[in-house]
Amino acid sequence: MSAVRENVWENVLAEVEQSIPREQFSTWFTGAELVSAENGAVTIGAPNVFKLNQLRARYTEVLKTALSNNGVEAREVKYVVQASTKPRIQPREKPAPILMADEVEKQESKISSLAANFQTGLNQKYTLDNFVIGSNNDLAVSVARNIVEDPGKKFNPFFLYGGPGLGKTHLVQAIGNAITQKHPKLRVYYTPISTFYSDFIKSLQHKKGDEFRQRFRKIDVLIVDDFQMIIKKDASQREFFDIFNILHQLDKQIIVTSDRLPSQIQTIDERLASRLTWGGAYDLQLPQFEDKCAILRSKAEFKGVEIEDQAIEYLAENVKTNIRDLEGEFEHLLAVADLKGMTPLQAITEGYVSTARGGQNKTATPRQVIDKVARYYQLTPKEMCSKSRVAHIKNARQVAMYLLSKELNMSTPKIALEVGVKDHTTVMHGIKKIDGDLKLNFGLRDQIAELREKIYG
């Protein structure tokens, strides 16, 4: 990219960043480049097909406006998949010695043996085959399979985020296990960030900091779990930042999980937060009813147990927290059924599992939901259900609409009556907006989860 074109593109990106949510910008525009701009035809390069499709579908008009504001006519915008043209700093290496055929074979055997004996930290029970794919995780799984095929080339780093119990650890360890099988010479290492921090502190105490760094620099695939726990650990952040840069420059695959986006982790260094989403940020969302049914059926098949469809649907309907709780309730139901000598459905209908322990008893009324939401946002029910267009009141009203729809299965006309709006299409718009915001706004997800606990608690 020429210096002039690069400068124009930087100005365009700066304008786009101001016009869309920061999380969307870091996810979809990282790695995008201006390839050409001639006679009103603009070509933009994206690092992979997923980003290309998102840019084309969601941001073409935004880009046209930003390009026009920076003196670039954009009657037509095209997109191509193109690796970043920005050069990477490669460390100098000594010329490799010329080896005879038998020496090459011995050396390859030695490398393979070292990789096989390397302590990966992976749990073999986590595989891609037993990870159930649904609408809540299909994009992340597609990226995972791409990484297994060609580690370090696409989607690097791979940043995976989502609430607890949604399968982040399962998915990233499954990637690690799949890579060790497909690329046995690669060294894969999985570590929770708490272990990284603990080992780093020990290395400083015993004056073995260089040994600690060298150990990580020999890794081909680094998987770091629960990255949000690095808050207020400045020295560990600096160490990880240095290790990240070296591995990334060498095209080593880096995989990081967190319960939120880097920009939402308190006290994290801005440079590190930016680097973590270079390859995009992909989230695992709460599973829908159909997803939960598929998870339970898969688990039943894996365990070789029989469970009625109605029992599965009961659990899927009542457990509204996460996959971990869903699986826990499944195990509890099977244990009760076995103890009582009944089928799982009989255990439910006979009252032995009248409500799932992790599920919520659906006894809330519309008025209770409205009162809880209003109090949560420090409003009175009258204020929240007024015609006010003030942003925080409007947002609270839309959250109430969303919960009345999702939790109590109320129709939009009935919700309109409860929250004081005349037109049910306003309710439809409010529910749709919250649904859309939940995909990228982790803070809103936390609020919805807390409100569910308050409503059913």
Q: Are 241 and 205 in contact (CB under 8 A)?
A: no
Q: Are 82 and 33 in contact (CB under 8 A)?
A: yes
Question: What is the pLDDT, as a whole number, of residue 108?
Answer: 44
Q: Sketch the domain layout of the chain as residue ranges.
A: 3-81, 111-283, 289-349, 366-456
Q: Are 169 and 325 in contact (CB under 8 A)?
A: no
The CA distance from 114 to 117, in Å, is 5
Torsion over CA of 323, 327, 333 and 339, rounded to 10 degrees? -160
Same fold, 111-283 and 366-456: no
The CA distance from 167 to 179, in Å, is 18
Q: Which residue has the higher pLDDT, 373 or 289?
A: 373
Question: What is the pLDDT, as a whole number, of residue 165?
Answer: 86
What average pLDDT does the structure give for the chain? Answer: 83
Q: Which amino acid is at 121?
A: G
* pLDDT band at 2; cut points 50, 70, 90: low
> What percentage of the chain exceeds 90 in pLDDT?
37
Indicate if the pLDDT at residue 98 is higher than 90.
Answer: no
The answer to whether the peptide bond before residue 157 is cis (omega within 30 degrees of 0) is yes
The CA distance from 386 to 388, in Å, is 5
Relative to beta strand 158-161, strand 281-283 is parallel
Burial of 454 (0-12, 13-18, 19+ CB in 10 A): middle
pLDDT digits (tens, 9 = 90+) for 382-393: 999 998 888 899
Q: Which residue in 274, 268, 212 sits closest to 243, CA to CA?
A: 212
The CA distance from 27 to 183, in Å, is 28
Q: Are 126 and 173 in contact (CB under 8 A)?
A: yes
Q: Which residue in 174, 197, 186 sits closest to 122, CA to CA?
A: 174
Question: What is the pLDDT, as a whole number, of residue 253?
Answer: 97
* pLDDT band at 196; cut points 50, 70, 90: very high
Indicate if the pLDDT at residue 87 is higher than 80.
Answer: no
pLDDT digits (tens, 9 = 90+) for 410-432: 889 999 999 988 888 999 999 99
pLDDT digits (tens, 9 = 90+) for 14-51: 888 888 876 577 677 888 889 888 888 999 988 776 67
- Cα angle 105, 111, 115; round to 5: 145
Mean pLDDT of 263-284: 87
pLDDT digits (tens, 9 = 90+) for 275-304: 999 988 898 888 888 889 989 998 898 888
Q: What are phi and psi of 364, to 5 degrees?
A: -70, 145
pTM, rounded to two decimals = 0.59
Q: Which amino acid is at 63?
A: L
Q: What are phi and psi of 307, to 5 degrees?
A: -145, 135
Relative to beta strand 253-258, strand 221-225 is parallel
* pLDDT band at 84; cut points 50, 70, 90: low
pLDDT digits (tens, 9 = 90+) for 152-173: 988 999 999 988 888 999 999 9
The CA distance from 142 to 51, in Å, is 13
The CA distance from 189 to 178, in Å, is 13
Q: Are 313 and 279 in contact (CB under 8 A)?
A: no
- What is the CATH number that goes with domain 111-283? 3.40.50.300
183: which 2 tokens?
């690329």
- What is the CATH number that goes with domain 3-81? 3.30.300.180
- Look up the CATH architecture of domain 289-349: Orthogonal Bundle (1.10)
The CA distance from 415 to 406, in Å, is 11
Indicate if the pLDDT at residue 329 is higher than 60.
Answer: yes
Chain length of the chain: 457
Judged by average pLDDT, the poorest of 141-145, 376-380, 453-457 is: 453-457
- What is the CATH number that goes with domain 366-456? 1.10.1750.10
The CA distance from 27 to 441, in Å, is 12
The CA distance from 324 to 424, in Å, is 36
22: which 2 tokens?
């920061």
The CA distance from 131 to 141, in Å, is 9
Helix, strand or coil, per DSSP, at residue 429: helix
Q: Are 213 and 242 in contact (CB under 8 A)?
A: yes
Helix, strand or coil, per DSSP, at residue 363: coil
Torsion over CA of 11, 17, 20 and 22, rounded to 10 degrees? 170
Helix, strand or coil, per DSSP, at residue 369: helix
Q: Are 153 and 184 in contact (CB under 8 A)?
A: no
